[in-house]
Structure 1
Amino acid sequence: MHRLYGGFVFFSLCLLFLAPSCSGGNILVYPVDGSHWINMKIILEELHARGHNITVIRASNSWYIKEKSSLYSSINLEMEEAFEDFFDIFIAEQIKVQREGASLMTFLKLNRDFLSMLTQAHVLWCDVTKDVFENKTLAKQITDSKYDLVLTDPAIGGGLVLAKYFNLPVVLNIRWSPLGEGHLVLAPSPLSYIPVPGSGLTDKMDFFQRIKNMFFYGILKFQEIVLVGPIYDDICSKYIEGGCSIASLLQQADIWLFRSDFVFDFPRPTMPNVVYIGGFQCKPAEPLPADLEKFVQSSGEHGVIIMTLGTLVNALPKDVADEIATVFSKMPQKVIWRHKGDRPSTLGNNTLIVDWMPQKDLLGHPQVKVFVAHGGTNGVQEAIYHGVPVLGIPLFFDQYDNLLRLQERGAGKIIQLADLNSHTFEEGLKDLLHDSSYRQNIQRLSRLHKDQPISPMDQAIFWIEYVIQHKGARHLISEAYTMPWYSYHSLDVLLLLLAVLMVLLYFIYAVFRCLCCRRKRKTKTKQN
């Protein structure tokens, strides 16, 4: 036994000394605030643990990104405007429009305001990025720091412009770009079976659904050409030699760390520089705080329901919250509800209201039976990892599409805001609690997700260090992006072949016509 143990120790030491070492890199991070920062920070924690030096660009009024941290140093950029209250107001108005059947003009105005807010966010961050270029001291500081790469979340494209300006390799922590879902910019995306975000479609579409899919793709292109594209065209034409577009900057990125995988997403074409890290933020559950553990254990055989609507929305409107509280009060389960608004008047003794909850630790607790969530990427992936069925209440962005993927696989159920009331909510909860197929299906997804040779986090760190070591990954970037659209689709070749065929057919026709005419002349001569 001692001999075996000694051999194991010797083997472990050999692996330790033979493992390739990676000297710490110098990484500039251009993140996006809110829930996007939550998963970016998890990557930074791992990079910091491996000895990398990290600098984070943050807005002075950031919601979540602290100025001082043991993980990173920060570059603070002045920004006055914020959008903390916008989402709560938007949700209240959206529920009102959907429930009261408001006019088409009201609906269009609501969506116009939402698009206007998103456009304004791009404008603000482009202005902030311009300030970096105009501030000679700061620009020199960034140049002198000799960063190895820029790690950025391109939901806001400022990091891409900054990397191009300073000629630095780029690693994207991405699912969404200014032009929509990331794949639509990078990889072949046939609209016959790849649903456009917002369409509410799956990869199985009939003829009329494909028409709908094409329509939503047209909306995306409109946003790119009219709303978002010009914002980045302006800053690129001014500060990047020769100019560029936001699409070209995305396509030139060295590595895409894509926050999804094909356990969750529908199968589709991809590219060699896309690394799928869906669920990289997920970890085994840790013990709950003593008071929370006591509450969870008090649920007995009935278990616990947890509910949260993410980081951007503090609370639902009071009347909706009261209806939800009424349903919870009638359930035999205990409930933990992250809710920051007014305390619902119909709250039952079985419901615990909290400002914050250890979401991953609760999802990993065996007593938790159902997760009521808005459908953000982080929450959905954590539900898959821990195998907890989801009752989804999508609010905006990609949330409906995320939940649709779970529903399509029988691992969750969606209640639209327009249909949310005490009856539908109670019915949805009971379906997930009493129909065992939901839990069986999401636990199957969990097993598939975990059955990987390398963890998503290890893949993410490997490829970041790969770019540092090799000063980029240009060999993985397709030349397709440099081709004009007609060459990409081989329309010029097709036209040439058609022209050659037409000439050939005309030549054959001309020969036959000549032969026929000659024969007619001979016949005439004989008759004469």
Structure 2
Amino acid sequence: MKPVLFIFCINLLFSIKQCARILGVFPAPGYSQFILAEVLMKEIANRGHEVTVISPYKPHNAPPNYKTIETSDVIENSDGINLYELDNESLFKNILTTYQYGNIITEVTLKDKGVQQLLHSDENFDLVIVEQFFNDAMKGFATQFNAPLVLFSSMGLTEWNKGYMGNPTLPSINAVSYTSYTNQMNFFQRIRNLVGTIFDYCYRKWVFYPIQKEYLEKYFPASINFDKIISNASLMLLNSHFTTSENVLLPYNMIEIGGFHITQNPLNKDIQKMLDEATDGAILFSLGSNLKSSDLTPITLNIILTVLGRLKQKVLWKFEKDLPERPKNVFISKWLKQADILAHPNIQLFITHGGMLSTTEAIFNGVPMLGIPVFADQKMNTARAKNAGIANTISLKDLTEEKFFSLINETINDSKYSENARRMSTLMRDRVVRPLDLALYWIEYAIRHGGVRFETPVLKMYWYQVYMVDILCFLICTLFIMYMLVKLLCTFIQKEKCKTNSKISHTKKYK
């Protein structure tokens, strides 16, 4: 027993030595985003680290080394925003609304009593993880506690976050997230995308950043330079994979871990029984955690109910209120374990808003989709899925009974959708290492090495140097000067020639 006890004690001492104190800042009010934060931070705690998380939500069955600073006021302050209205707004209005949304989240979180107590405490952390979600002032937590910074993006790679790690935005192939474009845009799409990219950059630089800088100065006790923290992260974890986000160019400091949150859990007895008995197949219908199906207009709701009633499949719908007029084949629930339901073999179709989590879970389980995107990255996600041959899409404003019914049947009955979905599922599952393990490796790597920076040259260059605008201007000016010199020379030669001819003519005249 003594050798065994000795080895146990050595392992215990080693684990204590490796234990780190980690602060997680996940301020977004969307519950789907918290699902990602919960999985990541609980795994960190399960590996022996001491975790403190700032979030509007508390985790289920948290271990004793997992502490939450609950900022529930964020949920109340974001409830008044009607996200369905954004579907009818312009690209520019969507950009403005998202940044304003981020400002609300940032200020409400930072002025929270528990957060302020933490900021004014003597706490210390070995690492700070911040969800990158229009909340750049919150990068100040790392500077406040003198700890390395790791960023986490629940939406994968976007124009909102890639610049922080020195990944240049190329409007020719990097579509603005509010559009329904893929990385293969036609001429006119590239024009609109360029305008949107420039507008987004200018608004972020000249309007959004100054407001975030004010929050940094107002709510943090230490004097922190906003310009220095904006691109000071060691690395960024991306909730994406090439099956969900196309093939993108990534520097070494951006790590894709898409699908890390997916596990297989048993369904409750009622849902299991309903799906098992769905001999004609079943459909899952969910518009995510931010959008509520119960907020759909009566006209849209009537169209959907009429179409669902015409189907032979059973439909499991995430609906937040009672729905007494629903057809007999429609079952509703206020919350559903989406990934577990999608894993059931009788699920033939997923009707979804096209959020990143929903798209990832559908691809992981090989289920074709019918996308009804509304805002943010949903249109792009569903466009990518359609381009991959695993989905159809329709907007709410174009929703009619015949279109909706036809698209549902086409996606279910045309075998190409299910075959492509199964192929994509195989690609997503076939990984060198489990994505959650990959995330933990890089997090602990940052702790071990004190936040090693993998800086790309882009971070040390001005935008006009990155896109060689200065060289282009130089070439244009050089060509213009050469043109003017040649023109002046030609004019001079012409004048001299005229003078010579004039003298010759004058001489001949007097002879």
> Which TM bucket (shorter chain)?
0.7 to 0.9
Q: Is the 8 A contact 1:156 1:177 kept in 2?
A: no
TM-score, normalization: structure 2? Answer: 0.81
User: Structure 1 residues 80, 199: closer, same or farther in 2, change over 3 A?
Assistant: closer
Question: Residue 76 of structure 2: SS of its match in structure 1?
Answer: coil
Indicate whether 1:149 and 2:127 are aligned.
yes
Question: Residue 192 of structure 1: SS of its match in structure 2?
Answer: coil
Q: Which moved more, 1:439-448 or 1:196-205?
A: 196-205
Aligned to 1:451: 430
Indicate whether 1:198 and 2:193 are aligned.
no
Q: Which moved more, 1:492-501 or 1:316-325?
A: 492-501
What is the rounded CA distance, in whole Å, between the counterparts of 1:94 and 1:486 in structure 2? Answer: 33
- What value does the CA root-mean-square deviation take over the aligned residues? 3.8
Indicate whether 1:119 and 2:100 are aligned.
yes
Post-superposition offset of 1:341: 3.1
1:348-401 CA-to-partner distances (Å, cap 9, x unmatched) read: 211111112221111011011001111111110000000000111112111111
Indicate whether 1:407 and 2:386 are aligned.
yes
User: Structure 1 residues 296, 68: closer, same or farther in 2, change over 3 A?
Assistant: closer
User: Structure 1 residues 195, 118: closer, same or farther in 2, change over 3 A?
Assistant: closer
What is the rounded CA distance, in whole Å, between the counterparts of 1:291 and 1:179 in structure 2? Answer: 39
What is the rounded CA distance, in whole Å, between the counterparts of 2:69 and 2:156 in structure 1? Answer: 23
Aligned to 1:274: 254
- Counting matched residue pairs gives 473
User: Structure 1 residues 119, 496: closer, same or farther in 2, change over 3 A?
Assistant: closer
Aligned to 2:505: none
Pairing partner for 1:398 from 377, 385, 400: 377
The one-letter code sitting in structure 2 at the alignment partner of 1:322 is N
Question: Residue 258 of structure 2: SS of its match in structure 1?
Answer: coil
Post-superposition offset of 1:230: 1.8
What is the rounded CA distance, in whole Å, between the counterparts of 1:114 and 1:192 in structure 2? Answer: 19
What is the rounded CA distance, in whole Å, between the counterparts of 2:94 and 2:430 in structure 1? Answer: 43
Post-superposition offset of 1:52: 1.1
Aligned to 1:485: 463
1:472-527 CA-to-partner distances (Å, cap 9, x unmatched) read: 021x1224313233444456677789999999999xx99xx9xxx9xxxxxxxxxx
What is the rounded CA distance, in whole Å, between the counterparts of 1:196 and 1:124 in structure 2? Answer: 22
User: Structure 1 residues 90, 324: closer, same or farther in 2, change over 3 A?
Assistant: same
Aligned to 1:129: 110
Question: Residue 263 of structure 1: SS of its match in structure 2?
Answer: helix
Indicate whether 1:460 and 2:457 are aligned.
no
The one-letter code sitting in structure 1 at the alignment partner of 2:371 is G
Indicate whether 1:223 and 2:203 are aligned.
yes
Pairing partner for 1:303 from 260, 281, 296: 281
Aligned to 1:9: none
What is the rounded CA distance, in whole Å, between the counterparts of 2:134 and 2:158 in structure 1? Answer: 10
Aligned to 2:352: 373
User: Residues 19-168 of structure 1: matches in 2 within 5 Å?
Assistant: 23-31=18-26, 32-34=28-30, 35-58=32-55, 62=56, 64-65=57-58, 69-70=62-63, 72-76=66-70, 79=73, 82-83=76-77, 85-87=79-81, 89-91=82-84, 93=85, 115-116=96-97, 118-119=99-100, 121-126=102-107, 128-129=109-110, 135=116, 138-141=118-121, 144-157=122-135, 158-168=137-147
Q: Is the 8 A contact 1:27 1:147 kept in 2?
A: yes
Post-superposition offset of 1:343: 0.9
TM-score, normalization: structure 1? Answer: 0.79
Structure 2, unaligned stretches of length 5 or more? 1-6, 497-511
User: Structure 1 residues 161, 329: closer, same or farther in 2, change over 3 A?
Assistant: same
Post-superposition offset of 1:81: 7.4
Pairing partner for 2:312 from 332, 336, 339: 332
Post-superposition offset of 1:263: 2.0
Q: Is the 8 A contact 1:387 1:442 kept in 2?
A: yes
Post-superposition offset of 1:69: 4.2
